[in-house]
C-alpha cells in the first residue's frame, strides 16, 4: 500500500513583541520642531527685566503703545482713545478652546480677555467686550497672580493675552511680576496687529507666540470698517516686526505651538480681493513658511445691519450684511497657495470655554 510521506510543518521563528510607536496627528517637518523649549522671558537677565519695567512705566506716563499716540498720562488717571487707564479691564479669565488647535491643544489656552480696543471694527465679533468695555479692573500684580493661577490648573498650554494692544505696559509688568512667582509656560500675544513699534519693542523677549490678525489691505476699507485708515500699513510693519522677533511657528513633539508667528485673516463678503492681497503680502514680505489661518466664520454682528441714522434709510455696512460663502473663502485660500504659502491651520474640534 502506498504511504505518503509525512508533511513537515515548519513553525515560523518567534517574533519579538511588536512595539507600536504613537504617531502625531500633526505632520510637522523637522525644521519646525523643538525639543525642551524655554519661554523667552525666562532667559532675561536681571538688568533686562529692570530696564523693561522702567520702559513700561514710561509708556504709561506718556502713552504711545498704539498708533493713536494719545500721549496721555495713565498714571495720573488720564485715558485716551481706548478709555482704559492705569489698570487693565478684564472681561474673562479661563481655559479657552476658541483658538487654533495648535494653540489650544487638548486642554485649552489659559486666556485673559481684555476689555477695550484701539480699533472700532464695525463687524467686531466680540463687540460686547471691545466696544462696551465690560469687565473688572486688575493691577499688573493682580494680573500676574491670575497668569500663575491659570498655569497651576495643570493643563493649559500657554497664557493667551487676547486683544492686549492697548494695555501692553500692564501686560509686560504682569509677565515680569509673574516670573519670580513661578510662571514657566509660553506667552501668546493675540493681537489685531494695530500695534506701535514701541509696544512691540517692549514685548520683545516677553512674548513667545504672536497670534496676529490681518483684517484689510486698503486704507479706504479700513477707514470705513475699522475707523483707522492707517491700519494696513501699521499691520504690515507690525507683522514684519513680530516675525523678526520670533520667526516662523514651531511646535513641540505633541503638535503644540511653542514660539513663532501665526497670522489670521477673517474672510468677509465683498472684500475678497483684499484677502488675496494679504496672502500675497505675507508670502512676499514676511515668509512663505508663515503659518496662516484663513477663517470662514464671519457673520454680521455689532453695527452691521443696523438701521442707518438720518433720513436716508437702509442698513449700515450693507456690503457685509451676510455670511461669507464657500467660494469666497476658497478664492482666498487658492490665492494663498498660488503665492507660495503652504502652512495652514486645520479646523478646530472645539470652541468656547472649558
Q: Which band of pLDDT confidence, cut at 50, 70 and 90, is reported for residue 211?
A: very high
- Confidence tier at 347 by pLDDT (50, 70, 90): low
Give residue 18's pLDDT. 40
Q: pLDDT band at 116, cuts 50/70/90?
A: confident
Q: Is 63 annotated as a binding residue?
A: no
- Cα(233)–Cα(219) distance, rounded to whole angstroms? 8
* pLDDT for res 1: 40
Mean pLDDT of 186-211: 98
Q: Is the pLDDT of residue 74 over 70?
A: yes
- For residue 311, what pLDDT is reported? 63
Model confidence over 48-72: pLDDT tens digits? 999 999 999 999 999 999 999 999 9
Domains of the chain, by residue range, sit at 30-344
Residue 132 pLDDT: 62
Q: What is the pLDDT of residue 193?
A: 98
pLDDT higher than 90, residue 218: yes
Is 66 annotated as belonging to a binding site? Answer: no
Q: For residues 320-349, give the mean pLDDT.
A: 92
Per the model's pLDDT, the better-predicted residue between 2 and 268 turns out to be 268
Range with lowest mean pLDDT among 62-71, 232-241, 312-321:
312-321
Is 114's pLDDT higher than 80?
A: yes
Judge whether residue 12 has pLDDT over 50. Answer: no
Q: What is the mean pLDDT of residues 258-269?
A: 98
pLDDT band at 14 (very low <50, low <70, confident <90, very high): very low
The residue whose grid cell reads 486704507 is 219
Homologous superfamily of 30-344: Aldolase class I (3.20.20.70)
pLDDT at 269: 96
Mean residue pLDDT of the chain comes to: 90
- C-alpha–C-alpha distance, residues 106 and 155, integer Å: 8
Given a cut of 80, whether residue 167 has pLDDT beyond it is yes
Q: Write down the pLDDT at residue 161.
A: 97
Amino acid at each position: 500500500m502506498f504511504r505518503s510521506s509525512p508533511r513537515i510543518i515548519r513553525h515560523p521563528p518567534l517574533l519579538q513583541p511588536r512595539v507600536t510607536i504613537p504617531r502625531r496627528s500633526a505632520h510637522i517637518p523637522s525644521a519646525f520642531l523643538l525639543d525642551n523649549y524655554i519661554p523667552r522671558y525666562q532667559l532675561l537677565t536681571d538688568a533686562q527685566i529692570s530696564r523693561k519695567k522702567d520702559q513700561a512705566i514710561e509708556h504709561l506716563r506718556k502713552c504711545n503703545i498704539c498708533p493713536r499716540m494719545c500721549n496721555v498720562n495713565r498714571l495720573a488717571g488720564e485715558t485716551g482713545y481706548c478709555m482704559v487707564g492705569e489698570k487693565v479691564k478684564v472681561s474673562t479669565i479661563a481655559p479657552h478652546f476658541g483658538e487654533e488647535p495648535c494653540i489650544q491643544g487638548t486642554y485649552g489656552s489659559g486666556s485673559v480677555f481684555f476689555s477695550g480696543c484701539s480699533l472700532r471694527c464695525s463687524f467686531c465679533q466680540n463687540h460686547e467686550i471691545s466696544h462696551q468695555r465690560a469687565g473688572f479692573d486688575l493691577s499688573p500684580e493682580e494680573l500676574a497672580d491670575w497668569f500663575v493661577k491659570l498655569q497651576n490648573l495643570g493643563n493649559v498650554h500657554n497664557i493667551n493675552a487676547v486683544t492686549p494692544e492697548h494695555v501692553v505696559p500692564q501686560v509686560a509688568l504682569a509677565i515680569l511680576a509673574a516670573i519670580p512667582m513661578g510662571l514657566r509656560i509660553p506667552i501668546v500675544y493675540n493681537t489685531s496687529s494695530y500695534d506701535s513699534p514701541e509696544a512691540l519693542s517692549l514685548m520683545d523677549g516677553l512674548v513667545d507666540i504672536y497670534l496676529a490678525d490681518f483684517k484689510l489691505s486698503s486704507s479706504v476699507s479700513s477707514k470705513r470698517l475699522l475707523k483707522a485708515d492707517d491700519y494696513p500699513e501699521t499691520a504690515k510693519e507690525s507683522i514684519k516686526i513680530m516675525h523678526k522677533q520670533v520667526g516662523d511657528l514651531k511646535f513641540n513633539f505633541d503638535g503644540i505651538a511653542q514660539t513663532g508667528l501665526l497670522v489670521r485673516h477673517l474672510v468677509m463678503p465683498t472684500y475678497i480681493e483684499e484677502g488675496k492681497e494679504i496672502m500675497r503680502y505675507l508670502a512676499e514680505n514676511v515668509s512663505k513658511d508663515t503659518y496662516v489661518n484663513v477663517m470662514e466664520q464671519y457673520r454680521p454682528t455689532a453695527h452691521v445691519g443696523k438701521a442707518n441714522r438720518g433720513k436716508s434709510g437702509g442698513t449700515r455696512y450693507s456690503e457685509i450684511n451676510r455670511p461669507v460663502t464657500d467660494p469666497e473663502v476658497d478664492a482666498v485660500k487658492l490665492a494663498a497657495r498660488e503665492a507660495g504659502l503652504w502652512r495652514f491651520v486645520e479646523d478646530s474640534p472645539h470652541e468656547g470655554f472649558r
